[in-house]
Amino acid sequence: MTAGGAPGAGAEYGPRMPESGFPRPVGALASLLRDLRSAADGDPMPELSYSAYRDFFDTGNRIRYERRYFRRRARLAARAAQALLDPATDLGPLADTLWSVCDEYTWALPAHVRPDGDPTRCLDLFAAETAHTLAETVAALRDRLDPRVADRVRAEVDRRVFAPFTEALPLSWEGSGNNWEAVCAGAVGMAALALLGDAPAQSSRLAAMLDRSRRAMDRYLAGFGDDGGCAEGVDYWVYGFGYFTYFAEALRAHTGEDLMAAPKVRQIAAFPHRAALGAGAHVPFSDASERPWLPAGLLTRLAERFGTPPARVIPSLHDDHCYRWGHLSRTLAWFRPIEAPAATEPVSFLPDLGWVIQRGRFAFAAKGGHNDEPHNHNDLGHFILHTHGESVLDDLGAGEYTADYFGPRRYDSLQPSARGHSVPVIDGQAQLPGPHRAARILRYATDGDTTCFDLDLTTAYEVAGLRSLIRRFRWSPVGRLELVDEIVVERPLRVEEMFISRRRPSFTPGTADWGGLVTLSHDCPETTLEEVVPTNHQALPDPVYRLRCAMTAATGRSTLRFVFDLT
């Protein structure tokens, strides 16, 4: 047995990231290989012009520049992978691509460039990932690549990424404890291992860089509770924990040190399976998506080390719209078919995160937490009802990333605001952001027939006269949710219960019906429906239907009861 607890998880276990090429791909990767060939031979890379660069600073729009940037990274990753898969590949197109990336004004995204900083040395997520891609490509190709190209790549990686990483000044993301710590430090650490690992004259510099990466990884792991839950959601678990795993395995191959032996890592590795709703759907709390893509190489390595479920599908190259080398290269290097373990638990309770998820023919999820989480939404007490492969009572996930979305006006956007979640509005006031706006878990219990989850939501609001707001969930796996809100007030207060869906409901006094999939019965005297059309994460219109069930709570204690039946 190894420190990770799984047989054969020592340094000799499984294929390493190749030093000169990828192993022969297994047949299940055929579709991914076709994607690579197509992307490698596609249209010329788009230009990153000044007008594109300045767009974010002038308008706050990120997506127009980033679409061009990531199309370039698609070409880079595809051509690098082709070269490492097939030694007979003509490296001329790849050399042109490497040279073109070295010509870029900055490897960072404009949204991450500080006004008082040097854009050419801005060490953000994507500068670090670019350095990682270039470094491993050049190191693996060795003398197959024109030395003039290789030397320029090494010089640009050193100037743009290694130099700021080795300076004493703290980097903007150090101390964040979120995915930035793992991605930036992991990508730079792997780049350093690729370019400096075989250079004795660089050993002290490499040691200093690896030490800085280790410290970042410690902070990243400290950002998780003992339950291993990722408040940022499954998408950002893929991002941050993926790069943690890739760096940890690269370090283990180089030094024998095993960062994945930390006790908390086993729990973190299980998170996406505990956040699953079923049939590929996952809880989309925070800025997450319901159907995240899960890198096959990452799942393979975690299955080998911890016995977690392996990859069930091989994602397309284009499922990762950022075309990250870490995910692609480790899928090509590590993926292999593995038998799935026995069925996972039907109910998952993550007490540190404050999430409950129950799976089966129907699925239910609800959350507590606090309103200052990474990628925070003001969503204490929010819940999801999932049937026939659809989240009918839904979570909207991430909105379009703009300057405002990550600025003081974040909660003007529907997706992160309380008005985009199935939570009460009290006296016209929605939940407020802040770490002290927290849901206190009063009870969690499950006996196989009923799951009970009770939350005190009082501190989420700042309403004169509100003394207490308790939300109680009673979920039956036969497809019934009883939701009870108990409110104590010192004066009459209007209470609006909001239920969010992308499916338009029909309603009559006391009932609502979302296409025959979910029905609701309630005693509120007022019911109205509102359509709102925000833009989603891809900047496309995303119609949302907000059902409001309203009443006035008299002085003292009132109880609002809602019964949802799923078919």
The CATH number linked to 444 is 2.70.98.70
- Assigned token pair, 117: 């900083």
Q: Is there a domain that residue 68 lies in?
A: no
DSSP secondary structure letters along 465-521: TEEEEEEEEEEETTTEEEEEEEEEESS-EEEEEEEEESSPPEEETTEEEETTTEEEE
Alpha helix ranges (H) inside 288-342: 296-306, 325-334
CB atoms under 10 Å from CB of 336, counted, come to 18
Are residue 220 and residue 263 in the same domain, yes or no? yes
Are residue 359 and residue 317 in the same domain, yes or no? no
Instruction: Return the CATH number at 202.
Output: 1.50.10
Q: Is there a domain that residue 62 lies in?
A: no
Are residue 375 and residue 270 in the same domain, yes or no? no
CB atoms under 10 Å from CB of 387, counted, come to 19
Are residue 226 and residue 183 in the same domain, yes or no? yes
What is the rounded CA–CA span in Å between residue 566 and residue 240? 35
Are residue 258 and residue 377 in the same domain, yes or no? no
Q: Tell me phi and psi for residue 494, to 5 degrees.
A: -75, 130
pLDDT at 10: 36
Cα dist from 234 to 238, 242, 270, 295, 435, whole Å: 6, 11, 11, 12, 22
What is the rounded CA–CA span in Å between residue 2 and residue 420? 46
Instruction: Encode the chain (567 residues) as per-residue pLDDT tens digits.
Output: 233 333 333 333 334 455 668 998 989 999 999 999 999 998 889 999 999 999 999 999 999 999 999 999 999 999 999 999 999 999 999 999 999 999 999 999 999 999 989 999 999 999 999 999 999 999 999 999 999 999 999 999 999 999 999 999 999 999 999 999 999 999 999 999 999 999 999 999 999 999 999 999 999 999 999 999 999 999 999 999 999 999 999 999 999 999 999 989 999 999 999 999 999 999 999 999 999 999 999 999 999 999 999 999 999 999 999 999 999 999 999 999 999 887 778 999 999 999 999 999 999 999 999 999 999 999 999 999 999 999 999 999 999 999 999 999 999 999 999 999 999 999 999 999 999 999 999 999 999 889 999 999 999 999 999 999 999 999 999 999 999 999 999 999 999 999 999 999 999 999 999 999 999 999 999 999 999 999 999 999 999 999 999 999 999 999 999 999 999
Domain termination site, one of 265, 299, 334: 334
Domain that holds residue 192: 27-43+76-334
Q: In the chain, how many domains are there?
A: 2
Are residue 211 and residue 246 in the same domain, yes or no? yes
Q: Whose structure tokens read 């893509």? A: 293
pLDDT at 70: 98
pLDDT at 11: 36
What SS3 class is residue 122? coil
What SS3 class is residue 86? coil
What is the rounded CA–CA span in Å between residue 104 and residue 99? 9
